[in-house]
Amino acid sequence: MRVLVVTAVAAEADSVAAGLAVAGYAPPAEEPDRPGGTRPPATRTSAGFNARAFRAEGRAVDVDVLPAGVGPAAAAAGTAIALARAPYDLVVSAGIGGGFPGVAPLGSLVVASHLIAADLGAGSPEGFLPVTELGFGRDRLAAPPGLCQAVARATGALPGPVLTVTTATGTAERAAELLARHPSAAAEAMEGFGVAEAADQYGLPALEIRAVSNSVGPRDRSAWRIGDALAALTDAFGKLPPALESWTSHEH
C-alpha cells in the first residue's frame, strides 16, 4: 500500500516525518527516477517544496510526504501533480488546525469523518448558500468510515467533520455561523477538501488528520499552542501505520 501525506507547510511535514521515524520509517538510500524506477521523482509544487519518501522494513505501507502550500487551491494542485506522477492507494491531508471549543481542545487530534468546503458557495440576503444548494458542484466528501474509525482507535483522535475554509475564523460571530451550518463540526483547517477533491478525481479515498493548535473563534495568538499541536501530530503518525495496514482500499 502506498500513501501520500499532504501538508501545508514544511513544519507539518517535519512533524509527520518525525512520527514515521518513531514507527521505524526512514528515507530510502536511493530513489530511482521514473521510468523504470520504483519511486517517483521528487514532486515539486509552486511553493518550491519536494515530496519525501519513507519506508520501513517489514511494513506493508510506503509513505510519501508532500508540503504542498497553504489553502485548498495549493493543496489540490500539489496533490494532483503528485498523483499524476505516481500511483497511490490513499491520500491523507495532515497538519494543525483550529478546534471548536467544547469539542476538540488544544493539543487534541481530530480525524475527519467528512471533509467539508465550508465557504464554497454564495452570499444572499437570506444568508450563505452552499454550492450544492446553488445546483452545481459539491461541498463535502466522506472519508472511508472503517479507516476513520481505525485511525481514531489507534491515535486517540476524535472522529468528526472537519471544515475547510479559505479564511481562518477570527471572531465569535463567524464561529457561531459555521456551527449553525455544521453543528457537528469538530475542527477547521484550510486544505482538507482540496486534497480530497484531487484524490477523488483519481478515484482514491482521502483522510484528514488535524492536531488542534487553537480554538475556532476570536483570534488570539497568545493562546495558540502550535508546538503542542505539532507534537501531537508527530505522536499520531508514530501510531498510524498499523491502522493503515489493517485497512484495505476495497472499502472505498
Each residue's pLDDT, cut to its tens digit, for the chain (252 residues) gives: 999 999 999 999 999 999 999 999 998 875 444 444 444 444 443 333 467 899 998 888 999 999 999 999 999 999 999 999 989 999 999 999 999 999 999 999 999 999 999 998 888 888 887 788 888 889 999 999 999 999 999 999 999 999 999 999 999 999 999 999 999 999 999 999 999 999 999 999 999 999 999 999 999 998 999 999 999 999 999 999 999 998 864 565
Residue-level pLDDT at 134: 87
Q: Write down the pLDDT at residue 50.
A: 67
Q: Which amino acid is at 34?
A: R
- Residue 153's H or E segment, with its range, is helix 145-155
C-alpha torsion 138→144→162→231, nearest 10: -150
Exposure on the CB side of residue 102, measured as CA atoms within 13 A: 7
For the 2-27+42-251 domain, the top CATH level (class) is: alpha beta
Give the domain ranges of the chain: 2-27+42-251
Q: Provide the grid cell at 217.
A: 473563534
| Nearest CA-CA partner of 117 in 176, 182, 186, 163 | 163
Type of residue found at 9:
V
In this prediction the pTM is 0.89
In 150-236 the beta strands, taken as DSSP E runs, fall at: 158-164, 187-189, 206-215
Cis link prior to 35 (omega < 30° from 0)? Answer: yes
Contact 227, 252 (CB under 8 A): no
Cell of 236: 499520531
Extract the runs of DSSP E, i.e. beta strands, from the chain: 2-7, 52-54, 62-67, 90-99, 109-117, 121-122, 129-130, 140-142, 158-164, 187-189, 206-215
Q: Are 69 and 18 in contact (CB under 8 A)?
A: no
Contact 82, 51 (CB under 8 A): yes
What's the pLDDT at 250?
54
